[in-house]
């Protein structure tokens, strides 16, 4: 399998054109038909694959960090009379199951990032739909705050996956139509079963778009609306320079993060601060590593997290960021939040090993709390039994809502859902090291084996995990990680993990006579009519 790289910068884009004209920016989709990430399909009608979306993700990130002077971003098409035909069907039909699901997950995370930029960075996204807009194309528009549709009596918005492909709009389309745009459920039902979509005044009346604009004045009106939405910003951005990364057959190494690849698992070590600049480069490396492992190493089902460094240095860095109040500090914290969220929805078993010399404190403790299990070594380092050094963790302000999960709760609120007295107790224990006994008493770790049993206990835990069904584990972990209230995010990822995951494996969609396989052949799909 060809390894996928997520390294992009505007000069290398094949499918997007980024133009910055403060206080607005234009992101124009101009897909290279012959620029597919893998061979076997053409990206016609501005349809997209993972490579197109990697560029979009890079552009959204760069706008936040490199162009804070931009207050509104217009997403439109550079092609005449077509906005976007959505995910490329030939690509989906030919892809493995895990590729399809991982593709949908990444595109969802990118759409969520657009919404996060609108909510938290003062960069409001506006979709200028200047032609036919279907499936994933409409889902790009749905991620924007406003949708303007060209009024030319032919351009439509559509979610045709159910009638044409036998699958669901996999990038949160159904959820955003009802929960975000508040489309009435009977109208949503009609809309999602109409392959030809909805246009004109009906699209406005049903709340599928916000405004119709005549074609002859489309770009002028779009630019004017964007300027109305943009708030004045005078900040100067920073450059997101290329990552430093070295790869071998069994290791991926960055300056702050290292991954050692085993037979069934990956050992990931995050190193703490060694200078003033740390959280942003570390987060970029961790984000890149998560994406590479998810896409390129699907058989490595267990990720084991360790940290190395001085907890006090982590806390000093955290206090500096939380106390600064400037735009860049806020962006860095939001980026770390989004990367932790990406970890939350990753279908891998996540373990944290807390050993002497680790720095699971404050914002790095969030990394351990994102894991399914946490083990703390109660004793000296395994390789130095005479050492006085002991493992500990530390709670800070960062653990009580600075980095919310997709359900809107902190990881501690999710861990102790509805236990307000316990959360109050934890708040009183902030800013001091918590050793093995206290960490167990406070419920912050799964277990604390002593130094005699440590290696056997961890080995048995990892071997036991590797012996279980990966499918069952994915479902179990997705259920356990998100307690409490539902949000658009949890609905999107929950329904992706369950319904779309299941539908993708069914013969009605992916079988030899299924809708995905027969799309474009002139043959009708053959459906098994039994409801299950």
Paired sense of beta strands 24-29 and 72-77, if any: parallel
**Of 198, 229, 260, which residue constitutes the final position of a domain?**
229
The dihedral through the CA atoms of 250, 57, 54, 401 has a sign that is: positive
pLDDT band at 57 (very low <50, low <70, confident <90, very high): very high
Strands 198-199 and 156-158: antiparallel
- What's residue 403's pLDDT? 98
Query: Does residue 458 lie within any of the structural domains?
Result: yes
Lowest mean pLDDT among 92-96, 232-236, 360-364, 367-371: 232-236
Beta pairing, strands 146-151 & 211-214: parallel
Q: Which has the closest alpha carbon to 139: 190, 96, 95, 103?
A: 103
To the nearest 10 degrees (0 to 180), the angle between helices 327-344 and 50-66 is: 150
Q: What band does 237 get if pLDDT is binned at 50, 70 and 90?
A: very high
**For residue 257, which phi and psi values (nearest 5 degrees)?**
-140, 135
Which H or E run includes 440? helix 436-441
**Residue 276's pLDDT is what?**
82
| Alpha helices, H only, 230-352 | 279-296, 311-324, 327-344
Q: What percent of the chain has pLDDT over 70?
A: 100
pLDDT of 24 higher than 90: yes
Three-class secondary structure of residue 133 per DSSP: strand
CATH code for position 335: 3.90.226.10
Choose one of 229, 258, 292: the last residue of a domain. 229
Give the domain-ending residue among 229, 255, 280: 229
The mean pLDDT value for 323-343 works out to 96
Does 509 fall in a domain? no
User: Whole-angstrom Cα distance, residue 161 to residue 86?
Assistant: 10
Domain assignment present for residue 513? The answer is: no
The predicted structure's pLDDT at residue 56: 98
Clarify whether residues 219 and 299 are in a common domain.
no
- Which two structure tokens, joined as six digits, stand for 398? 């960062």
Radius of gyration for the alpha carbons in the chain, expressed in angstroms and rounded: 24
- For the record, the structure tokens of 180 come out as 């975000």
Q: Is 110 helix (H, G, I), strand (E, B) or coil?
A: helix
Relative to beta strand 257-261, strand 373-376 is unpaired
Within a domain: residue 496?
no
Question: Three-state SS across 152-180?
Answer: CCCCEEECCHHHHHCCCCCCCHHHHHHHH
CA distances from 43 to 4, 91, 106, 112 (A): 18, 9, 19, 24
Looking at the structure, tell me whether residues 280 and 191 fall in a common domain.
no
DSSP result, 445-477: SSB--BTTTHHHHHHHHHHHHHTS-HHHHHHHH
Residue 233 clears pLDDT 90, i.e. is over it: no
Q: Which domain holds residue 386?
A: 246-480
202 with 338, same domain?
no
Q: What domain count does the chain have? A: 2
Same domain membership, residue 198 and residue 325 = no
Mean pLDDT of 304-315: 97
pLDDT in tens, 44-56: 999 999 999 999 9
Residue pair 130/229 in contact (Cβ under 8 Å)? The answer is no
175 and 280 in a single domain? The answer is: no
Q: Do 261 and 401 lie in a common domain? A: yes
d(CA 52, CA 310): 40
Chain center to CA of 162: 24
267 and 176 assigned to the same domain: no
Say if residue 184 is in the same domain as residue 259.
no
Question: Is residue 51 within 8 Å of residue 38, measured between CB atoms?
Answer: no
Q: Is the separation of the CB atoms in 267 and 260 below 8 Å?
A: yes
Read off the pLDDT of residues 140-167 as tens digits, 9 standing for 90 and up. Answer: 999 999 999 999 989 999 999 999 999 9
Mean pLDDT over residues 407-427, rounded? 97
Eight-class DSSP state of 215: G
Average pLDDT over residues 403-424: 97
Mean pLDDT (whole number) for 13-19: 98
What per-residue confidence (pLDDT) applies to 261? 98
Do 383 and 455 belong together in one domain? yes
**Residue range 355-378: average pLDDT?**
98
> How far is Cα 81 from Cα 361, in angstroms, rounded to an integer?
53
Distance, CA of 233 to CA of 339 (rounded, Å): 26
Do 123 and 80 share a structural domain?
yes
Q: Calculate the CA 61 to chain-centre distance.
A: 12
Output the pLDDT for position 2: 76
C-alpha dihedral (94, 96, 97, 100), degrees to nearest 10? -70
> Measured between alpha carbons, how far is 521 from 426 in angstroms, rounded to an integer?
61
Is 419 part of any domain?
A: yes
**Same-domain check for residues 308 and 417:** yes
Asked whether residue 453 is assigned to any structural domain, the reply reads: yes
Same domain, 98 and 192: yes
Beta bridge partners of 87: 48
Separation between Cα atoms, residue 49 and residue 53, nearest integer Å: 7
Torsion angles phi and psi, residue 306, rounded to 5: -130, 160
The pTM for the full model equals 0.96
For the residues 398-411, what does the mean pLDDT come to? Answer: 97
Mean pLDDT for 6-30 is 97
Distances (CA, A) of 340 to 4, 350, 375: 21, 12, 19
Looking at residue 1, what is its pLDDT? 60
Question: Average pLDDT of the chain?
Answer: 95
Classify residue 465: in a domain, yes or no. yes
Stretch 438-450: mean pLDDT: 98
**Long-range contacts at 460-467 (CB < 8 A, ≥ 24 apart):** 461/351, 461/373, 461/375, 462/264, 462/265, 462/302, 462/304, 462/351, 465/301, 465/302, 465/349, 465/351, 466/264, 466/265, 466/301, 466/302
Peptide linkage before 253 cis (omega within 30 of 0): no
């Amino acid at each position: 399998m060809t390894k996928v790289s997520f390294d992009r910068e505007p000069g290398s884009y094949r499918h997007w054109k980024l133009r910055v004209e403060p206080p607005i920016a234009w992101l124009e989709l101009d897909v290279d038909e012959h620029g597919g990430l893998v061979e076997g399909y053409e990206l016609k009608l501005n349809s997209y694959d993972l490579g197109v979306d990697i560029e979009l993700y890079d552009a959204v990130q760069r706008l936040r960090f490199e162009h804070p002077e931009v207050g509104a971003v217009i997403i439109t098409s550079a092609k005449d009379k077509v906005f976007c035909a959505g995910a490329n069907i030939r690509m989906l039909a030919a892809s493995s199951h895990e590729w399809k699901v991982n593709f949908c997950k990444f595109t969802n995370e990118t759409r969520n990032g657009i919404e996060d930029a609108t909510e938290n960075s003062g960069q409001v996204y506006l979709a200028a739909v200047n032609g036919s807009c279907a499936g994933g194309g409409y889902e790009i528009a749905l991620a924007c705050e406003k949708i303007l549709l060209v009024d030319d009596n032919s351009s439509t918005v559509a979610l045709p996956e159910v009638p044409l492909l036998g699958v669901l709009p996999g990038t949160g389309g159904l959820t955003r139509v009802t929960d975000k745009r508040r489309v009435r459920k009977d109208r949503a039902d009609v809309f999602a079963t109409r392959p030809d979509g909805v246009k004109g005044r009906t699209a406005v009346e049903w709340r599928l778009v916000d405004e119709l604009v005549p074609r002859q004045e489309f770009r002028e009106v779009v630019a004017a609306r964007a300027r109305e939405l943009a708030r004045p910003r005078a900040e100067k951005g920073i450059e997101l320079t290329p990552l430093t990364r070295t790869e071998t057959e069994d290791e991926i190494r960055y300056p702050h993060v290292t991954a050692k690849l085993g037979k069934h698992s990956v050992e990931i070590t995050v190193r703490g601060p060694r200078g003033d600049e740390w959280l942003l480069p570390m987060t970029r490396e961790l984000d890149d590593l998560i994406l590479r492992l998810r896409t390129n190493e699907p058989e490595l089902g267990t990720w084991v997290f360790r940290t190395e460094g001085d907890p006090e240095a982590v806390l000093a860095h955290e206090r500096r960021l939380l106390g600064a109040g400037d735009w860049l500090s806020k962006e860095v914290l939001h980026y770390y939040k989004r990367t932790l969220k990406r970890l939350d929805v990753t279908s891998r078993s996540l373990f944290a090993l807390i050993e002497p010399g680790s720095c699971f404190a404050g914002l790095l403790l969030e990394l351990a709390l994102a894991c399914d299990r946490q083990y703390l070594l109660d004793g000296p380092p395994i390789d130095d039994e005479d050492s006085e050094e002991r493992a500990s963790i530390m709670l800070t302000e960062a653990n009580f809502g600075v980095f919310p999960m997709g359900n809107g709760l902190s990881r501690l609120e999710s861990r102790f859902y509805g236990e307000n007295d316990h959360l109050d107790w934890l708040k009183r224990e902030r800013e001091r090291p918590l050793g093995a006994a206290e960490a167990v008493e406070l419920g912050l770790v799964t277990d604390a084996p002593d130094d005699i049993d440590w290696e056997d206990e961890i080995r048995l835990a990892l071997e036991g995990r590797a012996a279980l069904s990966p499918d069952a584990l994915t479902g179990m972990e997705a259920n356990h990680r998100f307690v409490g209230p539902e949000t658009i995010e949890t609905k999107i990822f929950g329904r992706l993990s369950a319904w779309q995951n299941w539908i993708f494996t069914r013969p009605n969609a992916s079988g030899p006579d299924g809708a995905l396989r027969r799309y474009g052949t002139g043959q009708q799909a053959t459906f098994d009519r039994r409801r299950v």
